[in-house]
Amino acid sequence: MNKKFLSAILFGALMVTSTGTFVSCKDYDDDIDRIDNTLNDLKSQIAALQSKIDAGKYITNVSTTADGITITLNDGTSYPISNGKNGEAGKPGEPGAAGDKIEVNEDGYFVINGEPTEWMAVKKDQLGQVVKVKTPTVSEDGCWVFYDEKGEAHPTTIKVAPVTAVENADKSWTLTVFDTKGGSQEITVPTAASSLTDLILVTRGNGSSVDIPKSTLSIAQYDFVYNKNTNGPDRNKWKGQRALPEDGYILAATSSLKLQVNPTKVDVADLDLKLVDSQENYASGIDLSASPYTGIEYFASSSRAASANGLYTLSIADKYFKKTTSNTELNNYWNQFKAYIYGNHVGAKAYAVTAGGNVRTKYEVEVAKSEALSLDYIYLINTETGQLLKFNNAPTTGNFQYYYLAKNASTTGTADAVDAKMEPNVWYQVYAYNSHALYDMHLVFSDDDETLFGIETKEENGIVAIRLTETPDNITKAGFKLTIQNVDNKGVYNQAQAWIGETSTITNEVIYDAITHKLSKNNADKSKDKNFFQIDLTKMKEALGTNGLALWNTKVKRAEVAYFNVNGTRIVESSQIAETFVSELKENMKGNTEKAVSVGKSATNMIFAIDNVTAATKFEIGKQYTAVITFYDAATNGEKLNSIKVPFTFTLPAITDLFAIDPGFIKENVANCYLYNDDFKKVNTSGAATFKLSRIFSKYDVNGFTVKLNAIDKIGSTDKKSSELATLKSDAEAAANAKVVADDLAYLTLDGTLGEEKGYDQVLKLTIDGKFDNAWKYPSDAVFNFQVKVMSPIEKGKIVPKEGNVVKIKASDLNGYKFGNDVIIGYTYNTEVSYKVMPNVVKEVDDVNVNAWSRDDIAAVTGETGNKLYFEVTNGGKATPATTGKDANNKDITVEGGLILKGYQVDHTVDTTIKINVTDIWKRVKSSDVAVKITVGE
């Protein structure tokens, strides 16, 4: 097209090409109404297109149609921008003929419907730079006005269409929608080229200190003289992909360029890549083609896709020159790459890679003539495994042993003693070692063998490949002779021959749906061990087909399992996963073991049992792996029958499935931990308040987990962290961390002097993390966080009158009155739990009664008068101990202790209080003012 040619000759023009549809002005008045009626449709089409552009799409093609313009985007969607009906009146709804098409030719003149005009779009100035003459305008009557080289106006009768598309210098397109009054609306639509922000040649590895590297595109020159040898076809009877040319010169690249494209979403297949020098001269005869740089890609030239990493390999097609006396064309080709010639010194010209827009690489590409390579060997690669095909008639020593056939290899094999075996239904791609030296290849075999073995070939787009489609049970002949005809760039014909057989492989590889296995605990009791995943062999057997399954049932003797990570690296695996075939699937490993069978007809399922401790050393949580199971026809060695792939991923139970605090202890997201004397006795090394954490957990896992005090956040007004306010202990010394153990989980002990611990009644933060089944480590964000508050059950309780709201004492009884459990009662934090406040247990120490309570976390009880003018508490305010007395029948009874009051005379009934202080074993005191009414005459 002119526009592509022009972009190479007149790079930098402000307007490269304009494509639109136009009608004569004599029809202008008749079409006004039609244009007005279609403007709304045009605007909706433009709006839809704009939304795509905003989403990052770009134009791959603009074409004219009978109705207007069709815009094609890189996601495959098309937008017809219609002009409405043009030309002569026709049947309602039918489009008229396409309007005029305007372009710009290589000399810078406008071309209308293929005919050059005298009106210029662009020209070169005195310095040879391309400049725009003057952009065409629209006259008052809606027709185009063009300008000649002098800038003088030339009105035309070409009416401006409702929509035009203009390709700009940066390769973007400007769409313009005109109304009947000459007004317009524009939208700029990017293309792959205009979307580029950067093109970078990858010329060195990371860490190099070279600032201005050079990238060399090496091209070898071959003198092509067809030499068919005695067994070769005539030149005009060659059946390969490329016709054999007349004797001349073949230029073939021996190296390639690596290009990085930004943004990476741009598909290089949409770019017209070229080499350009600093004088805007494009390298002639260099047609760059790009392929994603991802290593070996079989059949890559037939695919089209953007590279995810934005990296591409740039290569060039072979170039042919006919041999002449002067070889002027060939010499001009080479001379274009020279910057200067001075005596014997030749300087190489520096090129940049460009897509024709405003973005290009640095000028760091040198095109140089390289040494012609020699075509010596041919090899075949299994496109599914990437493995080379092994040949018995290949060299047995040196670098090319076993897998590389000489270009003229002969064979001593036979149909029953083949040189190599191919897997059925697998493509093998044929390559030439030093591929730059190869001109063409062609595969030859007999028609009978083609039918018998189901031979299929690909010989297109530079690819030569072969596969066998008949399964071995349907083949009576062991092998066939394959001839690989090859012609190198020097025109020398050779042929490599080998007898090819077929492996015992019955079907192509079967890939199972990906399995996600949530790990469970291993158990010595195999009836409780469910840590396995399984596949149903029905899918594989159905893929074999009736005949294939019958053959498989007869031949299969062994299965091998290999495990691979996502990048294809094999995992060295021994005892981590145990594979078993079973005749019936059971829910636990005991049942599966009882149903275990050898591989073969009776096997219905395949079990993969995981040993957590060993498997965790080879596999990771959340990553996909693949188990490849290959079946063979012999107990040792033998040939492959078929294979299956099972993708699988291990996951862990949520840590909340393993740990949970009973909701009965939680208030406002904090677990309230009320102290127990038993815990205090068990871990009393610090002499501070201690709580056994298992008391609040409804479930917890004890194999491989650690509970930790938070060492980051400061707590309340203490200006200390949880780890500075408490310690944890289980089966080790007290510290900020403790192993989670059975029965206790762990003991939490507050730091500080008993009764003065700063962590008391504070919200302490803790975390549990670790390894599932003491093997699989949970991710750093998969932890069990919880908060606790340690408190005394008594200190958080209350002491109240046993009946009513006040204790009534007659003034006459006041002196010597025992304020005891018959008139008051204590409650813990839980008002449902009451206790006797005064000593109620008889206890002697050295024959002396001492205070004791049925509740063992009470240490002392004292009382204080609310008004010492009314009464005082004797015995220094201390409660008297319980003693043993006699009842009316002279039987021993317990006489509970209490506070003994010393009363004073009051004139009339008065109200007062008595403060009851209950001190617990953690030196926390509950003080309650109990109302007292001293009555007179009531």
**DSSP letter string over 632-671?**
ESSSSS--EEEEEEEEEEEE---HHHH-EE-GGGEETTEE
Query: Which tokens belong to 607?
Result: 């079990």
Peptide bond into 263 cis (omega under 30): yes
Query: Other CB atoms closer than 10 Å to residue 481's CB: what's the count?
Result: 18
Does residue 909 surpass a pLDDT of 70? Answer: yes
Length of the chain: 938
Q: Choose between 613 and 57: higher pLDDT.
A: 613
Tell me the pLDDT band of 205, cut-offs 50, 70 and 90.
very low
8 Å CB contact between 632 and 557: yes
> For the chain, what percentages of helix, strand and coil (3-state, to nearest 5) are there?
15, 40, 45
Reported in sequence order, the residue ranges of 743-870 that DSSP labels E, i.e. its strands, are 747-750, 764-772, 776-777, 784-791, 798-801, 807-810, 818-819, 824-827, 834-835, 843-845, 848-850, 858-865
Tell me the pLDDT band of 87, cut-offs 50, 70 and 90.
very low
Q: How far apart are CA 694 and CA 768, in angstroms?
A: 13
Environment class of 546 (CB within 10 Å of its CB; exposed 0-12, middle 13-18, buried 19+):
exposed
DSSP secondary structure string, 707-718?
EEE-SSSEEGGG
Does residue 278 surpass a pLDDT of 50? Answer: yes
Q: What pLDDT does 918 receive? A: 98
Nearest to 194, CA basis, from 354, 2, 6, 315: 354
In this predicted structure, which of 260-274, 484-498, 902-916 has the lowest mean pLDDT?
Answer: 260-274
Q: What pLDDT does 726 receive? A: 94
Nearest to 180, CA basis, from 31, 5, 315, 381: 31
Model confidence pTM above 0.85: no
8 Å CB contact between 290 and 214: no
8 Å CB contact between 146 and 110: yes
Q: How far apart are CA 78 and CA 66, in angstroms?
A: 16
Q: Region of 599 please: left (phi>0), alpha (psi -120 to 50) or beta.
A: beta
Q: How far apart are CA 282 and CA 273, in angstroms?
A: 10
Nearest to 117, CA basis, from 142, 100, 141: 100
In this predicted structure, which of 169-173, 320-324, 438-442 has the lowest mean pLDDT?
Answer: 169-173
Strand 493-502 and strand 479-488: the pairing is antiparallel
Report which secondary-structure segment, H or E, holds 873.
Answer: strand 871-873
Per-residue pLDDT, averaged over 800-809, amounts to 96
Nearest to 707, CA basis, from 764, 679, 745: 745
Q: How far apart are CA 124 and CA 924, in angstroms?
A: 99
Q: What pLDDT does 136 receive? A: 73
Tell me the pLDDT band of 418, cut-offs 50, 70 and 90.
very high
**Domains of the chain, start order:** 2-195 (no CATH), 198-370 (no CATH), 377-502 (2.60.40), 510-651 (2.60.40), 656-791 (2.60.40), 798-935 (2.60.40)
SS3 452: helix
User: Which residues are registered as beta bridge partners of 347?
Assistant: 340
Q: What pLDDT does 475 receive? A: 55
Tell me the pLDDT band of 13, cut-offs 50, 70 and 90.
very low
Tell me the pLDDT band of 653, cut-offs 50, 70 and 90.
very high
Q: How far apart are CA 540 and CA 535, in angstroms?
A: 10
Query: Which tokens belong to 450?
Result: 């083609």
Q: What pLDDT does 501 receive? A: 92
Q: What pLDDT does 114 receive? A: 74
Q: What pLDDT does 14 receive? A: 30
Q: How far is CA 718 from CA 721, 762, 766, in A?
A: 8, 9, 17
Q: Which of 182-196, 600-614, 880-894 has the highest mean pLDDT?
A: 600-614
Per-residue pLDDT, averaged over 123-152, amounts to 65
Q: What pLDDT does 170 receive? A: 63
